[in-house]
Amino acid sequence: MKWTAKIIEHKGTNRIVVYFEKKPELIQRIRKLPGVRWSKTLGAWHLPDVAAYRIQFKLEEKTIGTNALERISDNNKIAYQNYIDMLYLLAYSQNTIRTYTVEFAQLLYLLKNKNVNELTTEHLKSYLLYCLQTLKLSENQVHSRINAIKFYFEKVLKQPKIVLEIPRPKKPLLLPKVIHIDDVAKMIKQTENLKHKTMLMLVYGMGLRVSEIINLEITNIDSKECKYTYKEQKEKR
């Protein structure tokens, strides 16, 4: 398979783009790689920028962030890099990757020279007690740390049993913060830009997340079901 590969920034994220002769057998091979995507804009397949793919496509070796390297011992640097790579390979969102890596790093900082792969369920329970009783972390943050640790042992080490016995602290019952309907109506009414007004109405009316509204495309709208144009609706009011 003759190919060329390079690292680019695509939609705000570093990706490895691969160019090769468009043969069915080659396309089938690359489609089997975890995290691969086709881009019409680039006219090529692209992959997560992780250490494993940099090695496979003979690119400069990827290393983890400088700040993390300074505080993580040599015994656990490879584990941390494998952790990051697996998050990208499984196509987790940038927010999840950011949260998980930060929370997992806290454990590695505390371990110092002790290898994270040698931890037992009892070690992890002691760590979580330390987070609750000494660090005074909130229940929500402890849940976040448990999720980060769970990902490492389940997805990276393939040892799901080690986290099965870890109890989770009860989450406090909090009422959601809701904007009053009058304030929402006022916000929409004062928005003059049609695109921004449409986005606000869709977000509020359909309960969309920010990531969902910014990725919405024309093809997602069933135009045949729309009885009136915006102009006709405005004239009827």
Question: What confidence tens digit (pLDDT) does each residue in 48-105 have?
Answer: 888 778 777 888 766 555 466 678 898 999 999 899 999 988 988 878 888 899 899 9
pLDDT cut 70: percent of the chain above it: 87
Q: How far apart are CA 80 and CA 62, in angstroms?
A: 12
Please give the residue range of the domain that contains residue 20. 3-56
Final residue in a domain of this structure, among 102, 130, 163: 163
Structure tokens of 187? Answer: 């916000």
Domain boundary among 163, 193, 210: 163
Do residues 91 and 127 share a domain?
yes
For residue 82, the number of C-alpha atoms closer than 13 Å in the C-beta half-sphere is 15
Task: Report the Cα 70 to chain-centroid distance in Å.
Answer: 24
Do 203 and 147 fall within a single domain?
Answer: no
Q: For residue 175, is it within any domain?
A: no
Verify that 157 and 75 share a domain, yes or no: yes
φ, ψ for residue 151, nearest 5 deg = -60, -40
Q: What is the pLDDT of residue 156?
A: 94
Within 10 angstroms of residue 44's Cβ, the number of other Cβ atoms is 19
Q: Encoding tokens for residue 122?
A: 């009892």
Q: How far apart are CA 220 and CA 226, in angstroms?
A: 13
| Number of domains observed in the structure of the chain | 3
pTM reported for the whole predicted model: 0.56
